[in-house]
Structure 1
Amino acid sequence: MDAFLYLVPGVIMAGCVFGAVQVIRRALRTSRMWAHGLTAEGRCLNTYVKTSGGNDAAVRSTLHHVYEFTTREGERFRFDEVGGDSTVVAGDHVVVRYLAERPQWATALRPAKGRLILGTGVLVVFMGAIAVGCVLFAVSAHSAV
């Protein structure tokens, strides 16, 4: 039973560390695309909204866009992106930024470095707070035993 008091917080902490690393990697990749990526003309193929929650929980809606673009090498790619401009509708043309070695990681988001840093920072701090809470829980459980 004592091992359970360390195992659960350990698994939660590992998940937080993994999530923080993924958030930082995504932010660095997006920043690199904005700074050094190639540009192409893309077209919005579709927009849709995913909703979650309901019943006793708050309903949350997330806007998605499906874009298509052609690289300089002539390859055609499609990607789905969350959080784009709500005024972009199917048929609109957009600027797509992508890395030559990874065109499947393309983005149509406009460069907003401050927003990217702030969003990444908030998520990393949140995950860090959860990890610290797990450490405090494990320490207090060890002291109580």
Structure 2
Amino acid sequence: MIALSLALLIPGAGVILLIVRPHLRRDLQKLRAWNSGHAAAGRCLSVDTYETETEEGLLVEHLHLYEFTDASGRQCLFSEWSRRSMTNRKGDSVTVYYEPERPEWATAIPPLIGRKWTILELVTVLVLLAVLVVPIPVLGVACAVSGSACWG
């Protein structure tokens, strides 16, 4: 029974990772930029808004293009997606956080560690947890109460 639960848990964890990974990777890049201690004055060059109809309703995303000059005097451009209401508009002055080794990972929008998950992501995680994790202790309690050797 434990082997079956573990056999289901590993693919379940893989599914969760596939759902969260793209967001997590960019969030970690942003977090590294924010924590690097390097900041520069920048400017929002443009904002393009894209709307997509999904099962959950209308998805609105904004693609910002920014420029800044790093500490070595190099002019840098980077783009950044945001699903939040438009925080920066074309022409706005912004503070850009960046790692000198990777200015393309710069950010002008706070990292989303702890972001609000979409309903689909949340439901998927909860269902996987219910199916894969909850049966283990429930079966253990059932075996202890019945006195049978469930694991052997």
- TM-score, length-scaled by structure 2: 0.60
**Aligned twin of 2:114:** 118
**Aligned twin of 2:62:** 63
Give 1:31 deviation, angstroms: 2.2
Structure ranking higher in helix proportion: 1
Moved more, 34-43 or 98-107: 34-43
Aligned counterparts, 1:27-66, within 5 A: 27-53=27-53, 58-66=57-65
The size of the alignment, in residue pairs, is 127
**Aligned twin of 2:138:** none
Unaligned runs of 5+ in 1: 1-8, 137-145
Unaligned runs of 5+ in 2: 1-8, 134-152
Decide whether the 8 Å contact of 2:24 with 2:113 is kept in 1.
no
Identical counterparts, % of pairs: 28
State the AA in 1 paired with 2:75. R
- Flag the 1:57–1:130 CA change in 2: closer, same or farther, 3 A: closer
Decide whether the 8 Å contact of 1:37 with 1:100 is kept in 2.
no
Decide whether the 8 Å contact of 1:43 with 1:67 is kept in 2.
yes
> Between Structure 1 and Structure 2, whose CA radius of gyration is higher?
2
Give 1:133 deviation, angstroms: 6.5
Q: CA RMSD in A?
A: 3.9
- Residues 16-73 of structure 1: per-residue CA shift (max 9 Å, x gap): 324444544433332222222311111111011111017x872221122111112222
- TM-score, length-scaled by structure 1: 0.62
- Flag the 1:39–1:85 CA change in 2: closer, same or farther, 3 A: farther
- Flag the 1:32–1:87 CA change in 2: closer, same or farther, 3 A: closer
